[in-house]
Chains A and B, each alone.
Chain A
């Protein structure tokens, strides 16, 4: 049985094809594009909200996308325990919908940053990371608004519940301001919700999953998701 990855396409999405490609050609699962005006998730086992500039990032990143018809279905899917991965703009949309806590501010430098960064994998017991063997991943970021912000209580809660999955770090996994590219609180690069079925991350694993690119550190995330779903199906 193949796992079906549903990739939501908003006007302005631009990493949708990369995600589709990884799902279909790299990990050899099934994949489908889900247009934002539809509300049918087409039987997807996992939903990806891809990177890009949905609705031109007008007003605030992700602010308008959250009212797309497809998002009602995605929110319902997530609330029932469905697996949702938001990458970059997808993460920003998850924050706007409230599926994940916090907001994204402009990068502290005010610059759009496109470069490889190192991520310490802080929690390997999630749906999204349980097949990752490395402690530190090298995955690119490409964003102007990835400066994660939440109030102190929310941050304490995220830490207490092990919801911080990825932090910007040195190649050896040291966490400090020096390795924080955008000013994010606690060097946060990716978080899960309390239930553990929704992950948002600013770095782009779909851009580092093909060996042709000599960068494959992102593939573990897709493998983790796939294996989790497959083992669940096997249990039933």
Chain B
């Protein structure tokens, strides 16, 4: 069994109004050193696979087909054997 974490981020070229709004809030609170806020998604799940490579293949396919939309998002993932 493997444990996967997928992080989905908006592509840099895509405006992130949510991130922008949160950053406005940060400024109001006096966090003046904060910039470049981008909000994404975090998804964690288990993968029942024989080995790392087949788990990795499945995670990638899942992220490409459903979890992200390549027109506006990129994803990265972390995968490790569940203890």
Contacts and interface: CB of A to CB of B under 8 A. Distances in A.
B43 to A, nearest CB: 9
Dominant SS among interface residues on chain A: loop
Interface string B56-71: 0000000000110101
A67 B65 CA distance: 10
A96 interface: yes
A149 interface: yes
B17 interface: yes
A59 B14 contact: no
A67 B66 CA distance: 9
Nearest to A60: B69
A117 interface: no
B33 to A, nearest CB: 24
Interface stretch (A80-88, A105-113, A127-135, A207-215): A105-113
Contacts of A102: 71
B21 A110 contact: yes
A105 B67 contact: no
A110 B41 CA distance: 17
Contact of B17 (A59, A60, A67, A106): A106
B72 A105 contact: yes
A71 to B, nearest CB: 13
Interface in A39-63: 59-60, 63
Given A59-B66, A63-B66, A67-B66, A103 B71 contact: yes
A150 B17 contact: no
A150 B66 contact: no
Interface string B14-38: 1101100100000000000000000
B72 A103 contact: yes
Contact of B69 (A67, A96, A106): A96
Interface of B: 14-15, 17-18, 21, 41, 66-67, 69, 71-72
Given A109-B17, A110-B18, 5 more contacts: A105-B15, A106-B17, A108-B17, A110-B17, A110-B21
19 contacts: A59-B67, A63-B66, A63-B69, A96-B69, A102-B71, A103-B71, A103-B72, A105-B15, A105-B72, A106-B17, A106-B18, A109-B17, A110-B18, A110-B21, A149-B14, A149-B71, A149-B72, A150-B71, A151-B71
